């Protein structure tokens, strides 16, 4: 995909603003720690001895889990502030690089991975044909791609009921769970635009998971729990690069 040098990556400024508070709260913030993360981790294969690309690493919580469980990790994020907090968290345990998932991962030429993990990062990338093709390229045969995104149902019918469900559209959300309210731009897309670019890139879909919040989530946010056991918030996907 060609790069418009005048255009910053989507949500870059928002995540730079959020980075300090996000890094401080990511281990216990209920929607992350007790809802999305357990579901995404449940899709992972055994990572011991595996080489993993953490694509959209944020402050490094997934990368830390991966290295703790025996993986060799390269972690990337577009936000320089998130990269800084990830490096502080990980030290020498993982390689952390600032990089834009919206652009070809040319710096990974000649590098291959057993697993690509991308947690709540792809919603900020419009063109999934490019990013899935790049993930396919850097994965070894038999390697897995596991990612989580905002669920198309909640994106359209709950959060952004204007426009057309069938289009990929630029939208924004105001996040109030941090020190200051921050408007975060993102993309919403239909379910077909989640799955078809994955298949077109050559992946085989193995599993779709619509998470249910944990009991610990219920203890922290009982009203949100009551909502999320009735309708989805995130979608988690596992796919494989067949030999």
The alpha carbon of residue 93 and the mean position of all alpha carbons in its chain are separated, in whole angstroms, by: 21
Q: Which residue has the tokens 């595996």?
A: 50
Beta bridge partners of residue 238, listed in sequence order:
146, 207
Domain count, the chain: 1
Structure tokens at 80: 């320089």
Q: What CATH number should be reported for the domain holding residue 95?
A: 3.40.50.150
Q: Which residues of the chain have pLDDT under 50?
A: 1-6
pLDDT tens for 126-144 read: 999 999 999 999 999 999 9
Nearest CA to 237 out of 183, 186, 177, 197 is that of 197
In a domain, 7, yes or no: no
Find the domain containing 203 and state its range: 12-152+190-240
In a domain, 178, yes or no: no
CA distances from 158 to 81, 89, 125 (A): 31, 35, 21
Angstrom distance (rounded) from CA 131 to CA 111:
16
Angstrom distance (rounded) from CA 78 to CA 236:
22
In a domain, 171, yes or no: no
In a domain, 138, yes or no: yes
In a domain, 17, yes or no: yes
Angstrom distance (rounded) from CA 110 to CA 113:
10
In a domain, 177, yes or no: no
In a domain, 170, yes or no: no
Beta strand 51-55 with 113-119 is parallel
Q: What is the pLDDT of residue 110?
A: 83
In a domain, 147, yes or no: yes
């Amino acid at each position: 995909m060609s790069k418009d040098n005048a255009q910053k990556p989507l949500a870059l400024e928002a995540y730079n603003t959020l980075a300090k508070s996000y890094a401080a709260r990511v281990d216990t913030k209920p929607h992350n720690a007790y809802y999305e993360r357990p579901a995404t981790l449940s899709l992972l294969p055994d990572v011991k001895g595996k080489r993993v690309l953490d694509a959209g690493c944020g402050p490094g919580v997934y990368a830390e889990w991966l290295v703790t469980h025996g993986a060799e990790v390269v972690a990337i994020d577009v936000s320089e502030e998130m990269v800084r907090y990830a490096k502080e968290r990980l030290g020498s345990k993982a390689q952390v690089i600032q990089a834009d998932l919206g652009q070809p991962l040319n710096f990974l030429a000649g590098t291959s991975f057993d697993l690509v993990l991308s947690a709540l990062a792809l919603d900020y990338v419009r063109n999934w044909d490019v990013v899935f093709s790049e993930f396919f390229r850097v994965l070894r045969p038999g390697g897995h791609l596991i990612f989580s995104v905002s669920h198309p149902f909640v994106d359209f019918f709950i959060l952004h009921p204007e426009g057309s469900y069938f289009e990929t559209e630029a939208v924004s959300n105001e996040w109030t769970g941090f020190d200051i309210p921050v408007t975060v731009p993102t993309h919403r897309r239909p379910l077909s635009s989640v799955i078809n670019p994955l298949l077109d890139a050559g992946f085989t879909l193995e599993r779709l998971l619509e998470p249910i919040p944990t009991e610990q989530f219920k203890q922290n946010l009982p009203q949100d729990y009551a909502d999320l056991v009735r309708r989805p918030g995130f979608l988690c996907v596992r796919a494989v690069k067949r030999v």
